[in-house]
Amino acid sequence: MRLTKKAVVPAAALVLAAGVVIAYHAANGTGMGTTAQPSRANGPAVLGQVAHASVGDPGDPATWRLPIEAYMPAEAQERLVASTRGELIDQCMDKAGYPAWKPAPELPAVGGKTLTDWRYGIHDVQMAAKRGYHPDADEQKAYDEAMRTGAVDTSGAPDDAVRACVAQVDSQVPAAQPAEIVQQISGDAFTESQKDPKVVAVFAKWSSCMKEKGYIYSKPLDASDDPRFNDPGQVTRLEIKTAEADIACRGQYGVARTWFDSESAIQRAKIADHLKEVTESAKVTREAVARAKAV
């Protein structure tokens, strides 16, 4: 998921956050409006085996699912595996002579709740009226507190002991994380979709709409990335008014849906080119979940 700069999240957590998704069946197509195609080596027959995008509530991007999500661990799967691994590492550290060692607490959600929730920008009018581009205040507070709680290990356990236990648990219950190719497809498609002529055109309409309201930005994410809105402890009136105008212009021209459709088509073409690898990634996740349940 894409979080604004206000939600201070370490890089490792962002990798995990990409897995906060719900798997869905490939039969739920949306009819893409972009002509992205797989390489000639992988034609229509292979593309037919690739998962489709799906749209839950057309007005709520948080309910939309990109094709790549079918090859990522679902939120429940990720939490089960992470919890099991934490318990096993804790047991290992006890046996190693460090009973005071505890695994870092699970970080509560902050900002977007699914891969698509804030991926194309904010969309909650009521939240924007209170927080602009900032996450919910209570969510941010809980997240910050969890970070502080788990930031310092006071047990005195040496790093090599922790690494040894992690390695041991890796052989028992591997982590449920998207494979590198899955993450690469997700990132590359997001970047490439912004060059799609249809997306470029809708960005231009959004930009003109914003200019009419007194705000000068070229692309939608330029607004949320405005350095003036970076202070995690302050939400200004300017930020709120900008965010409200932003959402209004997005809605007027269907920015999020146009962008989502483009990225979905690009993802499907890329998945077709790496179908064996992404399918294997999904298989590894299923195996990790099965091992976690067996513990």
pLDDT at 3 over 70: no
The angle at the Cα of 265, spanning 262 to 270, to the nearest 5 degrees, equals: 125
In the chain, what percentage of residues exceed pLDDT 90? 70
* pLDDT greater at residue 118 or residue 7: 118
- If you average pLDDT over residues 217-231, what whole number do you get? 95
pLDDT at 268 over 90: yes
Query: 168-186, pLDDT tens digit by residue?
Result: 999 999 998 889 999 999 9
What pLDDT is attached to residue 226? 97
- If you average pLDDT over residues 250-259, what whole number do you get? 97
Instruction: Name beta bridge partners: 55.
Output: 64
What pLDDT is attached to residue 9? 35
pLDDT at 80 over 50: yes
Cβ contacts of 236-243, under 8 Å, gap ≥ 24: 236/132, 239/132, 239/133, 239/134, 240/128, 240/129, 240/130, 240/131, 240/132, 242/132, 242/133, 242/215, 243/122, 243/128, 243/132, 243/133
Provide the mean pLDDT of the chain: 85
What pLDDT is attached to residue 107? 82
pLDDT at 13 over 80: no
Per-residue pLDDT band for 146 (boundaries 50, 70, 90) equals: confident
